[in-house]
């Protein structure tokens, strides 16, 4: 007979007590905290299929766009974001009250980095993009964010005139640098290099009844200015330029404004998108930024003409050709009944071209179409100036 020690008995009792108890131990760790939202997670980056404003972002920065002079200001509206290198349609119909009639808005853009840093105080964010965009139900408009005007150099511009001004590079017909609404001050224009270039003020007339934008430029070279961009690292060296240069001489400036184009409106009444070209070559770009006239669309083109004499004679001859189907269809444009005479474009005059397919034709031959041009009235510049 084996003897059991007191220690063994104690261990047996302890073990039976331990295994006889039912204890629940919560060994699961607390769930991890959710990751912080990605920068710009609150921004709509998706293209809006019903949009009429198409913007291409040629820069290497994701951009957040606002309507109004000051992002985050009382009258500002967030339009959405556009990724670097991308193209997006924006639906602005809910952002304006006159979408069916048409109008224009100031567009400002800030980079995603600036938006993230100054989200709680957006008026302090660096504005990289500034433009004027038109809108109208059924009409599309295109803008480009030019990377040349986004960077680490800049200068300041003031508009002391009671009208909006577009600043253009190196000539009144050069690429758009920035848009300044009436009486806009302290606007910084950023550039990618410190290279100097000439700034030309170009005045823009918008006709709310027709939805048309007309360019009006000054012929006075002394109203231009040479911009000298300087590094952002030393903002005290920023150069400042004021337009017009001499506000007290505004009446004189107005008297020197000219309409440097003929305004040609093309209506496409065919069943195929068409190109409006000179001699069948490269397509011209319409005021709303497109190189085709879609089916049923009306698009206006600014065509450099010649000034007419006092009797309305003169003009620059153009061999306009409307093309379709990759150039298989080439439709010459002429005054009805005058196919032997090239159209003459006179500055400040309006012209209309109607492109149609002849009834009973297949549309497979160029001779199945007509494109007649009609000369309209000369624009009254004095009336435009009062409405700028």
The reported pLDDT for the residue numbered 157 is 95
Element (H, E) at 254: helix 250-256
Q: With 60 as the cut, is the pLDDT of residue 81 above it?
A: yes
- Please report where in the chains the tokens 């770009």 appear, as a residue: 285
Strands 197-207 and 225-227: antiparallel
Mean pLDDT calculated for residue range 88-110:
89
Residue scoring higher pLDDT (219 or 283)? 283
The reported pLDDT for the residue numbered 39 is 82
Q: With 60 as the cut, is the pLDDT of residue 257 above it?
A: yes
Sequence-separated (6 or more) residues with CB below 8 Å from residue 207: 213, 214, 387
- Separation in Å, CA 309 to CA 218, 312, 314, 346, 347: 20, 5, 6, 10, 11
Which domains does the chain carry? 53-258 (no CATH), 261-384 (2.60.40)
In 95-119, which positions are buried (b, 16+ CB within 10 angstroms) versus exposed (e)? bbeebeebbbbbbbbbbbebbebbe
The answer to whether 230 and 240 are in contact (CB under 8 A) is no
Sequence-separated (6 or more) residues with CB below 8 Å from residue 180: 130, 157, 158, 159, 164, 165, 166, 167, 187, 243
Strands 261-269 and 240-243: unpaired
Percent of the chain with pLDDT over 70: 87
- Check whether the bond before 244 is cis (ω within 30° of 0): yes
Q: With 70 as the cut, is the pLDDT of residue 195 above it?
A: yes
The reported pLDDT for the residue numbered 100 is 86
β-partners of residue 168 are 176, 200
Q: With 60 as the cut, is the pLDDT of residue 209 above it?
A: no
- pLDDT tens digits, residue range 299-343? 999 999 998 888 888 999 999 999 999 999 999 999 999 999 999
The reported pLDDT for the residue numbered 249 is 65
Confidence of residue 15 (pLDDT cuts 50, 70, 90): low
pTM over the 0.75 mark? no
The two structure tokens encoding residue 148: 């040349």
Task: Please tell me the least confidently modeled range out of 41-50, 80-89, 101-110, 245-254.
Answer: 245-254
Mean pLDDT calculated for residue range 109-123:
93
Confidence of residue 137 (pLDDT cuts 50, 70, 90): confident
Q: With 90 as the cut, is the pLDDT of residue 381 above it?
A: no
Task: Please tell me the least confidently modeled range out of 66-70, 175-179, 384-388.
Answer: 384-388
């Amino acid at each position: 007979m084996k003897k059991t020690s007191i220690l063994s008995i104690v261990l047996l009792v302890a073990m039976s007590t331990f295994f006889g108890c039912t204890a629940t131990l919560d060994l699961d760790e607390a769930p991890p905290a959710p990751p912080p939202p990605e920068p710009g997670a609150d921004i709509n980056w998706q293209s809006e299929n019903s949009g009429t404003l198409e913007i291409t972002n040629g820069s290497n920065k994701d951009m957040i766009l606002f309507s109004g002079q000051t992002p985050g200001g009382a009258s500002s509206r967030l339009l959405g974001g556009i990724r670097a290198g991308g193209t997006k349609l924006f639906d602005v119909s809910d952002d304006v009250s006159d979408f069916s009639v048409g109008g224009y808005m100031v567009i400002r853009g800030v980079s995603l980095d600036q938006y993230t840093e100054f989200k709680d105080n957006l008026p302090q964010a660096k504005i990289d993009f500034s433009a004027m965009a038109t809108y109208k139900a059924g009409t599309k408009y295109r803008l480009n964010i030019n990377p040349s005007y986004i960077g680490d150099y800049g200068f300041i511009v003031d508009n002391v005139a009671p009208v909006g001004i577009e600043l253009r590079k190196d000539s009144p017909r050069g690429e758009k640098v920035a848009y300044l609404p009436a009486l806009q001050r302290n606007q910084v224009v950023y550039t990618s290099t410190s290279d100097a270039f000439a700034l030309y003020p170009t005045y823009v007339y918008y006709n709310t009844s027709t939805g048309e934008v007309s360019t009006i430029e000054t012929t006075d070279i002394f109203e231009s200015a040479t911009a000298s961009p300087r590094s952002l690292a030393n903002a005290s060296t920023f150069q400042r330029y004021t337009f017009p240069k001499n506000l007290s001489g505004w009446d004189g400036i107005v008297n020197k404004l000219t309409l440097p184009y003929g305004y040609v409106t093309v209506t496409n009444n065919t069943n195929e998108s068409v190109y409006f070209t000179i001699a069948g070559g490269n397509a011209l770009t319409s005021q709303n930024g497109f190189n085709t006239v879609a089916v049923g669309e009306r698009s206006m083109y600014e065509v450099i003409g010649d000034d007419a004499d006092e009797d309305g004679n003169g003009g620059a001859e153009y061999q306009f050709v409307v093309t379709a189907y990759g150039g298989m269809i080439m439709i010459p444009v002429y005054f009805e009944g005058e196919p032997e005479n090239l159209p003459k474009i006179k500055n400040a005059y309006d012209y209309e071209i109607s492109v149609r397919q002849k009834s009973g034709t297949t549309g497979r031959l160029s001779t199945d179409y007509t494109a007649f041009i009609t000369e309209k009235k000369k624009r009254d510049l004095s009336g435009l100036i009062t409405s700028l």
